[in-house]
């Protein structure tokens, strides 16, 4: 899948099927997405089995899509502005765990 509009629609459909407001979701880009459900340090942030990722053909497309969700639709997110940005071709999406939605960090 290479067109930003197609990827945006796919992610919107994924979110719609699973429910919640956009602010209940997290969208980021990475050069090596991992399933946070399998990463113990992230487990408390992710609602179980509410994670997906899409590999794009370029970091430009990945950033454009993530930027749309974060800055237009209001998801939380990681636009990964560090030096690895040119390698970040994957977009990851997860529904935040209920205890992380709208609550200040401890």
Is there a contact between 7 and 54 (Cβ–Cβ < 8 Å)?
Answer: yes
Q: What is the pLDDT of residues 7-63, one digit of tens each?
A: 999 999 999 999 999 999 999 888 876 654 454 455 555 555 678 888 899 989 999
Residues 6+ positions from 48 with CB-CB distance below 8 Å: 37
Higher per-residue confidence, 86 vs 46: 86
Half-sphere exposure for 19 (CA within 13 Å, toward CB): 3
Is there a contact between 71 and 39 (Cβ–Cβ < 8 Å)?
Answer: no
Q: Provide the whole-model pTM.
A: 0.77
Cα–Cα distance measured from residue 104 to residue 96, given in angstroms and rounded to the nearest whole number: 13
Cα–Cα distance measured from residue 20 to residue 75, given in angstroms and rounded to the nearest whole number: 11
């Amino acid at each position: 899948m290479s067109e930003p509009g197609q990827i945006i629609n796919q992610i919107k459909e994924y979110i719609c099927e699973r429910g919640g407001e956009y602010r209940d979701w997290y969208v980021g880009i990475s050069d090596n997405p991992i399933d946070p459900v399998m990463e113990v340090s992230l487990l408390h942030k992710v609602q179980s089995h509410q994670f997906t990722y899409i590999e794009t053909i370029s970091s430009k497309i990945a950033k454009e899509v993530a930027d749309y969700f974060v800055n237009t639709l209001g998801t939380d997110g990681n636009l990964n502005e560090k030096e690895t940005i040119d390698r970040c071709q994957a977009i990851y999406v997860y529904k935040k765990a209920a205890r992380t939605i709208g609550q200040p960090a401890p």
